[in-house]
Structure 1
């Protein structure tokens, strides 16, 4: 990025892209065993719910193949 040739009234705005903070963020805390187990249990519950929904929804998504055969037999019987 190029520097401006004309003077800028607010120098800190012009040099904002080069600003580095001297304040470090606090270190991350280690997750406890209970929190890790809870997150695994939540993930497993969500996956099991999705798999169960797919399994329960499969009959509604499948097309019945025996229905045309029954209709044709009824039409032949008349």
Structure 2
């Protein structure tokens, strides 16, 4: 019914925080030139897509201008 919980000594917890492995991971392999070019092209394609969608989308977001009053140019022509 009730589980018995085992106490963990504080020294064990403190030691676990300080533990460092003496095994060093292998060095990371440098990407080849073709991988760098591919990543750059993909990044540029994504950025160009975002900029293009912004350029095409901004005119659709503008509020339509409805001329309620005659403009200054029309008033000067009438006089």
Is the TM value for this pair above 0.5?
yes
Q: Is the counterpart of residue 58 in structure 1 residue 58 in structure 2? A: yes
**Partner residue in 2 for 1:29:** 29
- Of structures 1 and 2, the one scoring higher in RCO (CA 8 A, sep 6+) is 1
Q: Which runs of 5 or more structure 1 residues have no equivalent in the other structure?
A: 1-7, 74-78
Q: Which runs of 5 or more structure 2 residues have no equivalent in the other structure?
A: 1-8, 71-79
The number of residues matched between the two structures is 62
Provide the aligned C-alpha RMSD in A.
2.1
Q: Is the counterpart of residue 15 in structure 1 residue 6 in structure 2? A: no
TM-score between the two structures when normalised by the length of structure 2 = 0.66
